[in-house]
Amino acid sequence: MPPLFALAAAPTTANQGGLDARRLLDRLYQETVGQPMPPLLRRKRGKPYFANSPLHCSITHTRAMVFCVLAETEVGLDAEQLGRPVRPALVKKVLSSQEYCLWQQAEDPDRLFLSLWTLKEATVKYTGDGLRGYPNHLSFDLQGPTLEGWDLHFRLWEWENHVVSLCARPPLPEELEIRRFF
């Protein structure tokens, strides 16, 4: 049986994202586990974890939506709203040389950048290292997102005008759906 993965999303406003993400995680935990959510603590670099629970989580928010995942394995989740302006100077700092070549040739370079960015963010949220500097040392090929030398699996969605990326140890369930709340 594949491990537990539950994903949820809900609308928010720009100044309420963190609070709304915690509320969403609380509701997802209660509906998935059938118990109140244990205290949510943070590791040294900010990665959230549950006190006295074998489950793992990751949360993210944009100006319009909050997203969270609950899993039986370490996990990282990130999202960005499509249509957000992308600065070329940031692209050069963030993308690997291979990714930068893909970006230059892309039909929709902003969409490609946001896809690569969320994959990188989901990876550093998985590891708990956070973004120290620019993540151009992580290089993805969107033919099936993998990361050479890492035993990790990735999923990439476009969902309600957002790009959403998930990073976790295999196996991932065949079907993973984001449930909308509120």
* All domains in the chain, ordered by first residue: 5-180 (3.90.470.20)
pTM: 0.92
For the CA atoms of the chain, what is the radius of gyration?
16
Q: How would you write the pLDDT of the chain (182 residues) with one tens digit per residue?
A: 557 899 999 999 978 988 999 999 999 999 999 999 999 999 988 899 999 999 999 999 999 999 999 999 999 999 999 998 899 999 999 999 999 999 999 999 999 999 999 999 999 999 988 766 557 778 887 766 556 667 888 999 999 999 999 999 888 888 899 999 98
CA distance 60 to 166: 11
CA distance 142 to 125: 19
Residue 119's nearest CA partner among 97, 144, 99, 145 is 145
